[in-house]
Amino acid sequence: MTEQTKVTTLEQVVIRFSGDSGDGMQLTGTIFSNLSAIFGNEISTFPDYPAEVRAPQGTLSGVSGFQVHLGSKKIFTPGDKADVLVAMNPAALKVNVKNLKPNAIVLIDTDSFKKSDLEKALYTTDDPFQELGLTQVQVVAAPISTMVKDGLADFGLDNKSALRCKNMFALGLVCWLFERPLEEAMHMLQTKFAKKPVIAQANIKALTDGYNYGHNIHASVSTYRIESKKAQSGLYMDVNGNKATSYGLIAAAEKAGLRLFLGSYPITPATDILHELSKRKDLGVITVQAEDEIAGVCTAIGASFAGCLAATSTSGPGLALKSEAIGLAVIAELPLVVIDVQRGGPSTGMPTKSEQTDLMQALYGRNGECPAVVLAAATPTDCFDAAFWAGKLAVEHMTPVILLTDAFLANGSSAWRLPDLATYPDITPNYVSNYQGDKPWKPYRRDKDTHVRYWAIPGTEGFTHRLGGLEKDFDTSAISTDPLNHQKMVRTRQAKIDKIADFIPDVEVIGNVDDADLLIVGWGGTYGHLYEAMEKMHEKGLKVALAHFKFINPLPKNTAEVLKRYKKVVVAEQNNGQFANYLRSKVDDFNPYKFDRIKGQPFIVSRLVEEFTKILEA
């Protein structure tokens, strides 16, 4: 190294890895995120990739990205704009120009910025930085492809295989930039490529070469140090929402003393739940990959009837297909967890992008009066608790529960401290052994207070019975078309769902609880962005509070009191105002401001602050 490198200490930083779908940006970002978590940083990640299986190389439509926000204090979002961009080609630079801070550091592979590469990305000049107006960014330009091929010349790899390691060279550069030791990254690569030792060693060589290149060049940029946060003692892991959802279901089944069954059909972005649970046969988990969405939910209903904690996972299009079967579970009053990982719609829409547009479908998207419980997870790690609650309410109240997550939560990750299951509440099924009535037991005999019917597991001696989709008599449980009986059963099923409000926590208000001039209301995966927006408004001296809803149907019992406590309320969501309209239908004389964005991307915190400030000043 020709001179001492300047080291700058930061509280937080946003890094975005971007390149072609085949450039390995997701793996690169994941490894760096894991390194940062091990180092003691708080992290939040956002994988952003195209729906195309493989768009033409070097084109704008084929750009894949992975953003990670890390810091020494609590991190709530993946960040608005990047402090550092790794752009493996001109298309990645152009697509991400709007995501860059003015003085950002940009690492590029000069071998991929030739005239033909610029033309593929629709540049009109030979100076991409000038053309895009990036006059203040700090550029670290390196012939990455050439150095990788030269560095791996002795490994016997063909040209294509060698170039697949260039993402690790870029990762090495970033590790140098942020003073990350390489040992853990090497271990991760050895684990990932355990069956291909030559590939593992080639990637490790490229990683080391990238680090050494940054260390030895006469770089014009400083390196950065993000101090570690003193964390609560315990076991930690980097977990995304889909994995946390899977673990939450397993925990619920364990607490209930039941086997977990998942009947599912692969669909983006929910498929990883099926993948994860299929690995857990050691914990008694049963998984079935069905031939379609309808078969998936029907196998789950069958497993529920047989005495399992049954679940099915899907996204918006699949939820539509499952609607009739969910109605069967409602009228049969069987426990069922339906996980909807929301994505951009309608129809096929934008399969890899995130929205909150399935709320009305979850609440009302079935024929007849067909009430179901609806929950929404708030963060990737909260998916564990939300899935646990979904299992608890489904089993204890004999009802389908629809758990809404989204692509942002499902693929995004955070450092997660493994919870102590002993601190979680028990899950107590309402088995038929609890029945103490004077009349002989029938399938639709129910607890008089909760309206929950008693669960008789097939094979229990003396409790042979049938359930089905036809209306049943309230007293005899036989098929009935009597008008008054039907009305009674409809209202009883609704009363059972309404009663659940007695068993869920109140909605919590945080921030300026007592004297806020504006209450921000959100639900689901927007929590981190809304919380950060509130904090930034506090820094400006503005009095703001936040109420974020996890329990959607039924709503917490204090909902009306909270919403009417404040003069100004804004409901922020990634749809055309579905939750705002739902709240208006449930709370008299409630007319909130609305902030709606449906772009397939997370909220931008700076824009939230701008719009909420306008509401305060109105």
State whether 146 and 245 are in the same domain.
no
> Is the confidence at residue 575, as pLDDT, over 80?
yes
At 590-603, the pLDDT tens digits run: 999 999 999 999 99
State whether 513 and 412 are in the same domain.
no
Domain at 599, CATH number: 3.40.50.920
pTM: 0.92
Residue at which a domain ends, from 175, 192, 226: 226
Q: What band does 2 get if pLDDT is binned at 50, 70 and 90?
A: very low
State whether 329 and 359 are in the same domain.
yes
At 258-282, the pLDDT tens digits run: 999 999 999 999 999 999 999 999 9
Q: What band does 6 get if pLDDT is binned at 50, 70 and 90?
A: low
Q: What secondary structure does DSSP assign to 545-580, as a single string? A: EEEEESEEESPPTTHHHHHTSSS-EEEEESSSSHHH
Q: What band does 219 get if pLDDT is binned at 50, 70 and 90?
A: low
Q: What band does 291 get if pLDDT is binned at 50, 70 and 90?
A: very high
State whether 19 and 156 are in the same domain.
yes
Domain assignment of residue 486, yes or no: no
Domain assignment of residue 476, yes or no: no
State whether 127 and 162 are in the same domain.
yes
At 529-539, the pLDDT tens digits run: 999 999 999 99
Residue at which a domain ends, from 370, 397, 423: 423
State whether 222 and 275 are in the same domain.
no
User: What is residue 509's predicted lDDT score, i.e. its pLDDT?
Assistant: 98
Residue at which a domain ends, from 423, 450, 474: 423
User: What is residue 3's predicted lDDT score, i.e. its pLDDT?
Assistant: 43
DSSP 8-class letter at 192: H
Q: Which residues contact 423 (CB under 8 A, 6 or more apart)?
A: none
Domains in the chain: how many in total? 3
State whether 151 and 249 are in the same domain.
no
Mean per-residue pLDDT, 494-506: 98
Domain assignment of residue 461, yes or no: no
State whether 326 and 182 are in the same domain.
no
Domain assignment of residue 180, yes or no: yes
Q: What is the per-residue burial (b if ≥16 Cβ within 10 Å, else e) of 279-296? A: ebeeeebbbbbbeebbbb
State whether 215 and 246 are in the same domain.
no
State whether 124 and 212 are in the same domain.
yes
Residue 547 one-letter amino acid: A
Domain assignment of residue 404, yes or no: yes
> Is the confidence at residue 7, as pLDDT, over 70?
no
Reference 550, options 595, 508, 498; nearest CA is 508
Hey, what are 235's tokens? Answer: 């076991």
Domain assignment of residue 440, yes or no: no
Higher pLDDT among residues 8 and 286, named by residue: 286
Domain assignment of residue 82, yes or no: yes
Q: What secondary structure does DSSP assign to 117-163, as a single string? A: HHHHTT-SSS-HHHHTT--SPEEEEE-HHHHHHHHTGGGT--HHHHH
Domain at 15, CATH number: 3.40.920.10
Instruction: Tell me the pLDDT of the chain averaged across its residues.
Output: 94
Residue 176: give the domain boundaries.
7-226
Q: What band does 36 get if pLDDT is binned at 50, 70 and 90?
A: confident
With a pLDDT cut of 70, the percent of the chain lying above it is: 96
State whether 38 and 146 are in the same domain.
yes
Mean per-residue pLDDT, 472-484: 97
Domain assignment of residue 307, yes or no: yes
State whether 257 and 351 are in the same domain.
yes
Mean per-residue pLDDT, 232-261: 93
Q: What secondary structure does DSSP assign to 431-486, as a single string? A: BGGG---SSPP-TT-B-TTT-PBPB--TT-TT------SS-B-TTT-SB---HHHH
DSSP 8-class letter at 172: H
Q: What band does 215 get if pLDDT is binned at 50, 70 and 90?
A: confident
Q: Which residues contact 573 (CB under 8 A, 6 or more apart)?
A: 356, 522, 523, 524, 526, 579, 580, 595, 596
Domain at 287, CATH number: 3.40.50.970
> Is the confidence at residue 15, as pLDDT, over 60?
yes
Q: What is the per-residue burial (b if ≥16 Cβ within 10 Å, else e) of 80-104? A: bbbbbbbbbbbbbbbbbbebbbeeb
